[in-house]
Amino acid sequence: MHTENYTVKSLELHLFFARIMKEHAFFLKAGFTPAGEDCAKQADFYREEFEKVLCKAISLGNGIISPQVLRSGELVTEFTSLAESQTEKYTGIPINTDITGKTLRLNCGCRQTNDCNERAHHVHQLNQKAIELLRGFIEFKENILKKVLCCELFTVNYPLLLEHIIREAKLYCECIEMLERDGNFNDRTLKDIECFWNQIMMEHAMFIRGLLDPSEKELICTADEFAKEYCELLERSRNAHERTMPCNSLEKTLKFREFKTAGVRGIEQCKIRSIILPLLADHVLREANHYIRLLKC
């Protein structure tokens, strides 16, 4: 195993996905009614635990994260701080905004070789903790979905959104396990990446469409069009030969990012009618930024 590559790839993964997971837990908590109080408490447990993973990754990652990741907008965006403040005000659920400040202050490129093995040891421990957490979190999400589908539990989150966040948690877990086994993501092909993230982008468009106020007809039509186009891309990705991937996923996602960026700005400025939390709007923008970086690699 190449220790430096293992360390950097692990920490970059946590810096992106641990924040995504803590926000999944936040959205789950915010979506339960008083009857779902026990589930809300469990969601809050996972929110706090993934915050700890993220904080540890920030501490270990300062000075070694690649500039491509730091510049990508997948860790935080120009909107994240305000989105967190507004979402905390709207929901009454506390958000540790200091974590975003620390992420914004991360440096890159100053690699320290003298503590490489010690850092790798700490990363291994963090990976093991994250895997354990993820297995529990995936089971928790699957139980929620099962109860929702048999009408034992109500949440404002769509069943498809529950399936969506389960898949993202499983990807995160699989990537950590791959790093622990091989020290890299050797099994992840471009085809795998496109198939996974084109489906995620398609579902984002569907969720945005479903959470916009019915009066926002133009935005709904645009979201609908993105959903259809990603559905087509997904089919082409699944049917493509390993070495002849469709070339317009990047082009489409760059355009979708523009739509999402305008959406976050409009929601934060109270210019778009919707039931989309500002943090959710920023969340899906960061995922588009992540996918764009992967496509450019």
Give me the CATH number covering residue 141.
1.20.1260.120
In a domain, 80, yes or no: no
In a domain, 208, yes or no: yes
Same domain, 227 and 178: no
In a domain, 143, yes or no: yes
Same domain, 9 and 133: yes
Same domain, 210 and 275: yes
pLDDT at 244: 43
Same domain, 136 and 55: yes
pLDDT at 2: 67
Same domain, 236 and 111: no
Report the domain count for the chain: 2
In a domain, 87, yes or no: no
Same domain, 110 and 254: no
- Token pair 């523009």 is found at 258
DSSP 102-118: HHHT--BS---STTHHH
Contact at 8 Å (CB) between 126 and 56? yes
Same domain, 166 and 207: no
Cα 191 to its chain centre, rounded Å, is: 20
pLDDT at 243: 46
In a domain, 4, yes or no: yes
Same domain, 269 and 165: no
Same domain, 61 and 146: yes
Rg (CA), the chain: 19
Contact at 8 Å (CB) between 166 and 142? yes
Same domain, 43 and 173: yes
Given 136, 154, 184, the domain boundary residue is 184
- List average pLDDT for each run of 10 residues in the chain, which is 297 residues long: 85 98 98 98 98 98 94 98 98 97 87 73 97 98 98 98 98 95 76 92 98 98 98 84 64 97 98 98 98 93
Given 150, 184, 218, the domain boundary residue is 184
In a domain, 76, yes or no: no
Same domain, 198 and 264: yes
In a domain, 94, yes or no: no
Kindly report the pTM of this predicted structure: 0.95
Same domain, 46 and 145: yes
How many helices (H) and strands (E) would you count in the chain? 11, 0
- Token pair 């210019």 is found at 271
Given 153, 184, 215, the domain boundary residue is 184
Domain that holds residue 280: 189-297
In a domain, 235, yes or no: yes
Per residue, the 3-state secondary structure of 204-254, as one string, reads: HHHHHHHHECCCCHHHHHHHHHHHHHHHHHHHHHHHCCCCCCCCCHHHHHH
Q: Which of 43, 135, 138, 59 is nearest to 93 (CA)?
A: 43
Contact at 8 Å (CB) between 157 and 30? no
